[in-house]
């Protein structure tokens, strides 16, 4: 059935100038309007042919106008779909982005009043914001953060281009932190230091647990095993039966606990208090233990089941970012322009010229300084 649109809409569609047609992406196929308006070639397509190149998005797909999907239809707001999902998760999504860290080991924290608290030391190594993800473009709000360093030879060419466009050295790890809304987005390229968190606040700590390999039922699920004696033969650590016999199904129920790969899973420890932060050492000390071996990559973010840090603290940390990196925006812009220049050069096979140009410039500078040194020495 034809969409229930007001008459003037149809009229407007008919008189739309045809000059807009070249701007439509080539991946979109032209759809024809039903019945009377089939002659109009200027309308936007209703359907989209999906290919490998069309990518992935959580944005709502282009839908056909229908009497049920009009805003005037009077139907309730859908409770499923990307928008509803974001709305549902809004309350448990942290306000701020988190940081990446490396687990350095466990030790104790001695309190002034004699308390002795087991704690884990997490170190932040040049943690930088890399990308902001927005609802309009990506379907959700998030900040991509990178940590550490990686040799350029161990980075793929697409990622080299990605870092080049941001003026950032290749990172060892990249990770995304979901934030509640656009207020949680950060300037790109700035460094996050341990004072991003304050002492006493609660954080959620995520990491991969230590991998145990293929483990038996006793180790993996705490099964009791079997007797050591009383005629038992070579079945001391086996799991025994996996289900009832004929008459009650005679099958293994789905989800039956069995031997298999153990560990190396994402583990979240919620609501760990922060005991200490130190910018010079670059460490955040949290109470208790964190999954994974030493050297494991850890994600730290404000606890989602507690109140977010106070507005004063959030403002303070944002202001600190601006104070520490006042030229971040200009630097990013310059890097982008340089990237476009290099990209064009790569396309036109001129990149070698640019490389020699730069090398010449460097040589020139070195020669100039050497000359200056010589003149000063002579004087």
Partner 1 sequence: MNVAPLARRPLGCLKASLRQARQQKMFTRHIATEAAQTTTTTTTTPQPPLEHSFFRLNDRKTKTLRTAFAVYPNTTVAGKTVAPAPVNVVQSLHEVQIAKMDPTGARTALFAKTREAAKPGDVLMVTHRRGGEPFAGVCLSIRRRGIDTAVLLRNHLSKIGVEMWFKVYNKNVAGIEIVKRRPKRARRARLTYMRQPKHDFGSVDDLVFAWKRSRRVFTSGKPTAAAAAAAAKGAKGAVAAKKK
15 part of the interface to partner 1, by CB under 8 A: yes
* Residue 189 engages partner 1 in binding (rule: CB under 8 A): yes
Task: Choose which of 2, 358, 370, 372 interacts with partner 1 (CB under 8 A).
Answer: 358
Binding of partner 1 by 360 (CB under 8 A): no
**Closest to partner 1 by CB, 136 or 157:** 157
Residues 130-159 that bind partner 1 (CB under 8 A): 149, 152-153, 157
We find the least distance from the C-beta atom of residue 212 to partner 1, in angstroms, to be: 25
Give yes or no for residue 116 binding partner 1 (CB under 8 A): yes
Measured from the CB atom, the residue of 152 and 212 that comes closer to partner 1 is: 152
Region 327-346 residues binding partner 1, contact defined as CB under 8 A:
327-328, 330-335, 338-339, 342, 346
Does 126 engage in binding with partner 1 (CB under 8 A)? yes
Residue 17: burial class (beta carbons within 10 Å; 0-12, 13-18, 19+): exposed
Q: What does the alpha-carbon distance between residue 195 and residue 301 come to, in Å, rounded to a whole number?
A: 13
Cα distances (angstroms) measured from residue 364 to each of 58, 184, 236, 338, 357: 52, 45, 77, 21, 10
Q: Shortest approach of partner 1 to residue 197 CB, angstroms?
A: 16
Shortest distance, CB of residue 188 to partner 1, whole angstroms? 9
Q: Are strands 266-278 and 260-262 parallel, antiparallel or unpaired?
A: unpaired
User: What is the x/- site pattern for partner 1, positions 268-297, by CB under 8 A?
Assistant: --------x-x-xxxx-x------------
The distance of closest approach from Cβ of residue 133 to partner 1 in the complex, given in angstroms and rounded to an integer, is 20
- From CA 192, how far away is CA 123, in angstroms rounded? 12
- Considering the rule CB under 8 A, would residue 315 count as an interface residue with partner 1? no
Query: In this chain, which of 53, 91, 112, 230 binds partner 1, going by CB under 8 A?
Result: 112
Q: Is 317 in the site for partner 1 (CB under 8 A)?
A: no
- Least distance between partner 1 and beta carbon 369 (Å): 15
Query: Which residues are CB-neighbours of 203 under 8 A, at least 6 positions away?
Result: 98, 197, 271, 272, 274, 286, 300, 301, 302, 303
What does the alpha-carbon distance between residue 146 and residue 168 come to, in Å, rounded to a whole number?
10
Number of residues in contact with partner 1, rule: CB under 8 A?
Answer: 61
Length of the chain: 379
Q: How far apart are CA 118 and CA 97, in angstroms?
A: 26
Instruction: Output the CA–CA distances (angstroms, integers) from residue 282 to 123, 213, 220, 238, 298, in the order listed.
Output: 6, 33, 36, 47, 14
Whether 285 contacts 274, CB under 8 Å: yes
Q: Are 204 and 302 in contact (CB under 8 A)?
A: yes
Nearest 5 degrees, angle CA 104-CA 107-CA 110? 135
Q: Which is nearer to partner 1, 124 or 300 (CB)?
A: 124
CB of 208 to partner 1, least distance (A): 21
17 Cβ contact list (under 8 Å, min separation 6): 42
- Residues near partner 1 (CB under 8 A) are 12, 15-17, 104-105, 107-114, 116, 121, 123-126, 128, 149, 152-153, 157, 160-161, 163-164, 167-170, 189-191, 276, 278, 280-283, 285, 324-325, 327-328, 330-335, 338-339, 342, 346, 351-352, 355, 358
């Amino acid at each position: 059935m034809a969409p229930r649109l007001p008459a003037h809409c149809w009229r407007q569609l008919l008189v739309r100038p045809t000059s807009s047609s070249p701007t439509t992406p080539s991946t979109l196929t032209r759809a024809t309007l039903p019945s009377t308006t089939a002659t109009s070639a200027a309308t936007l397509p209703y359907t989209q042919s999906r290919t490998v190149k069309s990518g992935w998005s959580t944005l709502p797909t282009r839908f056909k106008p229908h009497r049920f999907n009009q805003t005037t239809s009077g139907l309730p707001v859908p409770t499923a779909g990307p928008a509803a999902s974001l709305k549902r998760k809004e309350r448990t999504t942290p306000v701020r982005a988190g940081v990446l860290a490396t687990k350095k080991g466990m030790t104790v924290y001695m309190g002034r009043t004699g308390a002795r608290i087991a704690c884990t030391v997490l170190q932040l190594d040049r943690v930088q914001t890399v990308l902001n993800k927005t609802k309009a473009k990506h379907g959700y709000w998030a900040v991509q953060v990178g940590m550490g360093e990686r040799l350029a030879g161990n980075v793929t060419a697409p990622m080299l281009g990605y870092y080049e466009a941001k003026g950032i050295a290749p990172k060892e790890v990249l990770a995304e932190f979901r934030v509640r809304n656009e207020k949680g987005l950060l300037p790109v390229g700035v460094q996050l230091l341990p004072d991003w968190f304050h002492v006493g606040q609660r954080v959620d700590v995520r990491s991969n647990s230590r991998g145990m390999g293929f483990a038996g039922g006793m180790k993996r699920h705490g099964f009791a095993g079997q007797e050591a004696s009383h005629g038992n033969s070579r079945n001391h650590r086996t799991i025994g039966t996996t289900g009832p016999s004929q008459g009650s199904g005679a099958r293994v129920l789905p989800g039956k606990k069995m031997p298999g790969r153990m560990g190396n899973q994402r583990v979240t420890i919620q609501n760990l208090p922060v005991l200490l932060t130190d910018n010079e050492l670059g460490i955040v000390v949290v109470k208790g233990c964190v999954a994974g071996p030493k050297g494991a990559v850890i994600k730290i973010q404000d606890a989602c089941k507690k109140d977010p840090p106070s507005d004063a603290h959030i403002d303070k940390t944002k202001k600190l970012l601006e104070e520490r990196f006042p030229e971040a925006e200009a630097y990013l812009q310059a890097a982008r322009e340089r990237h476009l220049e290099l990209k064009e050069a790569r396309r036109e096979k001129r990149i070698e010229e640019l490389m020699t140009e730069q090398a010449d410039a460097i040589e020139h500078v070195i020669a100039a300084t050497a000359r200056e040194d010589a003149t000063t020495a002579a004087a």
